[in-house]
């Protein structure tokens, strides 16, 4: 794995972001991430999608402020921010970008109650998105709302408008259609 990463990092142009996702069946050892950051200063970020917040904490320790760290998905967003991460990645950011940014802003401003309230809203959207298969559901809901959502790439299949309506309903129940400028 290290040889592969070094080859990619040596050949890829520009600033780089490492990404580790538990779904591939392995994760990068945090110490290895730290070594790669020392060896390749063009690595400006590390995206960590892992079910264990303790792994995220270990990565943050290894990164030691040398790159931004974002967690995959909103579930660990508040915990990761509390540990020192800079943000999170999620399909929900496509549906409610202002809401997702406001979580980071409220946290940075020290408004823990506001951040917790916003996180709760994001998790409601996350739950509805996951019920439709994640990003494929988000794409379908965006199309229903007249926003550019695109279509999933194979082998993923599109979600029917009838099923996607459940996610649109959650967005509207939270007032996100108005707050995010989505039309119904």
At 184, the pLDDT band (50, 70, 90 cuts) reads low
- The CATH number of whichever domain residue 2 belongs to comes to 3.20.20.70
Checking if the pLDDT of 79 tops 70, the result is yes
- What pLDDT does 2 receive? 85
pLDDT digits (tens, 9 = 90+) for 129-139: 999 999 999 99
Please count the residues of the chain. Answer: 184
Give yes or no: residues 62 and 141 share one domain.
no
- Cα–Cα dist 125/138, whole Å: 10
At 45, the pLDDT band (50, 70, 90 cuts) reads very high
Burial of 51 (0-12, 13-18, 19+ CB in 10 A): exposed
Largest CA distance in the chain: 50
What is the average pLDDT value for the chain, to the nearest integer?
95
pLDDT digits (tens, 9 = 90+) for 145-171: 999 999 999 999 999 999 999 999 999
Domain final residue, candidates 54, 89, 124:
89
* DSSP calls for 36-55: HHHH-TTEEEEEEE-S-HHH
Give yes or no: residues 23 and 76 share one domain.
yes
Give yes or no: residues 40 and 80 share one domain.
yes
Q: Provide the domain count of the chain.
A: 2
- Cα–Cα dist 142/52, whole Å: 30
Contacts (Cβ under 8 Å, ≥6 apart) of 55? 27, 30, 48
- What pLDDT does 165 receive? 97
Give yes or no: residues 69 and 111 share one domain.
no
At 110, the pLDDT band (50, 70, 90 cuts) reads very high
Checking if the pLDDT of 183 tops 90, the result is no
What's the average model confidence in pLDDT over 113-141?
97
Residue ranges making up the domain that contains 114: 94-184
């Amino acid at each position: 794995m290290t040889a592969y990463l070094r080859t990619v990092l040596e050949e890829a142009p520009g600033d780089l972001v490492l990404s580790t996702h538990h779904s591939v069946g392995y994760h990068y050892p945090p110490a290895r991430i730290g070594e790669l950051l020392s060896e390749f200063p063009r690595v400006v970020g590390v995206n960590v999608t892992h079910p264990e917040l303790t792994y995220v904490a270990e990565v943050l320790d290894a990164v030691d402020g040398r790159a931004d760290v974002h967690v995959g998905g909103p579930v660990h967003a508040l915990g990761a921010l509390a540990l020192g991460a800079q943000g999170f990645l999620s399909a929900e950011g496509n549906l409610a970008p202002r809401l997702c940014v406001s979580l980071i802003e409220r946290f940075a401003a020290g408004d823990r109650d506001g951040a917790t309230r916003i996180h709760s809203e994001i998790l409601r959207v996350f739950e509805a998105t996951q019920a439709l298969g994640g990003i494929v559901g988000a794409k379908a809901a965006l199309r229903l709302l007249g926003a550019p959502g695109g279509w999933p790439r194979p082998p993923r299949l599109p979600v029917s408008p009838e099923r996607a309506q459940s996610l649109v309903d959650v967005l509207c129940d939270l007032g996100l259609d108005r707050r995010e400028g989505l039309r119904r």
